Amino acid sequence: MPNTGTNAPVTLFLHGAGMDHTVWTPITNALTAAGRPWLAVDLPGHGGSAGAPLCTIGEMADWLADAIDELGKAPVVAVGHSMGALVVLDLAARHPQAVSAAVLMGVASQMPVHPDLLAMAQANDPKAAALIAKWGIGRAAQGDVGPQVAACVTGAPAGALYADFAACNAYRDAEAMASDVACPMLLVLGEEDRMTPPDKAEPLLHAAKDAGRTVLSETGHMMMLEAPGACVEALLAVQETRS
C-alpha cells in the first residue's frame, strides 16, 4: 500500500485481459527501490480480487475511480496495460479528478479480438493462454517471458479472460475519450507489438490534447515484462512532471 500521507504522486497500475497485479512486479520492485509510492490492483474476478468480472470498459473505469477515491488526496498517475490502458483512458476522460496523468501501455484506438481466440477464452481452452504468450512477446524476450505470461493467464479464474476480451471487443469509444482527456497522457508502445501495433495508436495521439509516445525497440505487447527498465524510466519521467 502506498504512503498517501505525502503529496508524492502515487503510481497506480492496472493489468490487461486475463492477468493480475503480478505482471507489474519488475516495475514495482524498481519503484520501491527508488522510494516511489505505488499500488497495483486486481479488477474484480482477477488475482486476489473477489466478485465476478466486470463486463464493460466503462464499468471497470468506474470501479477504478472508486478505488482511487480510497487513496485520499495524493495525486495519482494511472498506468494501464492493454485492456487496462483502455480502462485508464476511459477513467481519465470521465473521472478527470481521479488522475493527474495517464500512461497507456500497449494500446490501440480499437482492440478487436479474433473470433477464434474469443471462442477459446469462452471455452476456458488453455490454448488461448499459449497464443497470447506466443503473439504478445517480441523476439528477444520470447524464451524468458512467454512462460510467465502463459502461467498468469492460465491461472486466471474461469470466465475472466472471456469477459475481458468481450469488453475490449465491444469498446469503440477510445478516440472520443482521448479527445476528452484533460491531463497529460503518455503512450508506451512496443516496436514489435503484434497485438496492438504502434501505428494503431495514432488516432489516440491525434485526438488527445496533450499526449506523447515512447516506442520501445525490440519489444512486443508485454513490455512491462520484456523491458521493465525502459518502462520505469518512462514512468519516473512522468512522475517528475507531476510532482
Residue 64 lies in a domain: yes
Number of domains in the chain: 1
Q: With cut-offs at 50, 70 and 90, classify the pLDDT of residue 2.
A: very low
Residue 40 lies in a domain: yes
Is residue 175 assigned to a domain?
yes
Residue 43 sits in a domain of what CATH number? 3.40.50.1820
**Quick check: is 3 in a domain?**
no
Q: Is residue 22 part of a domain?
A: yes
Termini Cα distance of the chain: 19
Residue 243 confidence class, pLDDT cut points 50, 70, 90? low
| Each residue's pLDDT tens digit, 204-214 | 999 999 999 99
pLDDT at 202: 97
How far from 104 is each of 78, 115, 212, CA to CA, in Å? 8, 25, 10
Residue 4 lies in a domain: no
Q: Name the average pLDDT for the chain.
A: 93
Give Cα separations from 79 to 27, 124, 147 (angstroms). Answer: 11, 28, 24
- Tell me the pLDDT band of 182, cut-offs 50, 70 and 90: very high
3-state SS of the chain? CCCCCCCCCEEEEECCCCCCHHHHHHHHHHHHHCCCCEEEECCCCCCCCCCCCCCCHHHHHHHHHHHHHCCCCCCEEEEEECHHHHHHHHHHHHCHHHCCEEEEECCCCCCCCCHHHHHHHHCCCCHHHHHHHHHCCCHHHHHHHHHHHHHHHHCCCCCHHHHHHHHHHHCCCHHHHHHHCCCCEEEEEECCCCCCCHHHHHHHHHHCCCEEEEEECCCCCCHHHHCHHHHHHHHHHHHHHHC
pLDDT of res. 1: 41
Task: Band the pLDDT of 140: cuts 50, 70, 90.
Answer: confident
- Check residue 189 and give its pLDDT: 98
Per-residue pLDDT tens over the stretch 10-67: 999 999 999 999 999 999 999 999 999 999 999 999 998 999 999 999 999 999 999 9
Domain range for residue 148?
Answer: 10-242
Q: What is the mean pLDDT of residues 64-71?
A: 94
Q: What is the pTM of this model?
A: 0.95
> Counting beta carbons within 10 angstroms of the beta carbon of residue 175, is it exposed (0 to 12), middle (13 to 18) or buried (19 or more)?
middle
Q: Looking up cell 497495483, which residue turns up?
A: 40
Non-local (6+) Cβ contacts of 110 within 8 A are 171, 172, 174, 200
Per-residue pLDDT at 139:
79
**Structural domain includes residue 189:** yes
